Amino acid sequence: MKTKILMLAVLLGLTTVVVAQPKEKEQGKSFQGPKHEMRMDDRKGGTENGLNLTDAQKEAFKQNRLAMQKQLQPIQNELGEAEAHQKTLMSAEKPDLAAINKNIEKIGGLKVEMEKIRTKNHLDMRAQLTEEQRLKFDAFKGKMKHNGGSEGMRHNMKMKG
């Protein structure tokens, strides 16, 4: 009798644990869904939502973003090639340290150039805002830096895709 009661209690406990666990599909949605939506909003002008931009400001932001992307695209391509070349240099049977260091300098220079373009774009966008909008804009950019910034978002997008 005691064995049957004990077995029933264990079975009831296991059933409760299994039922309480979320299913894989639900867990995936609840874990990735909101974060992914948040990143997409951030990437697609999430800063604009709370700024109450005029139509002219929205259009200017759009044009600035487009111009920045046109400037960044060839540099990003070159950076990808340099990083791939770095892997080749590193995996060689007899790695050439001078060539590796030269390529590291090239990668660093490309990243600096990209950051200069992003910074100029940021300042251009900021210059088009009113004082109140600037405060909100700066606060949003500060939050992004604490959360990994745009680099963190790009890295997360690469990891997901």
Which residues fall within 8 angstroms of residue 123, CB to CB, at 6 or more apart?
none
Which residues in the chain show pLDDT less than 70?
Answer: 23-49, 143-161
Residue 24 is predicted with a pLDDT of 59
Residue 49 is predicted with a pLDDT of 61
Closest CA to 53 of 136, 110, 115: 136
Q: What is the pLDDT of residues 77-101, one digit of tens each?
A: 999 999 999 999 999 999 999 999 9
Contact predicate 61/45, CB 8 Å? yes
Residue 34 is predicted with a pLDDT of 44
Q: Say what the pTM is.
A: 0.59
Question: What are the boundaries of each domain within the chain?
Answer: 69-128, 129-161
CA pair distance 156, 161, nearest whole angstrom: 9
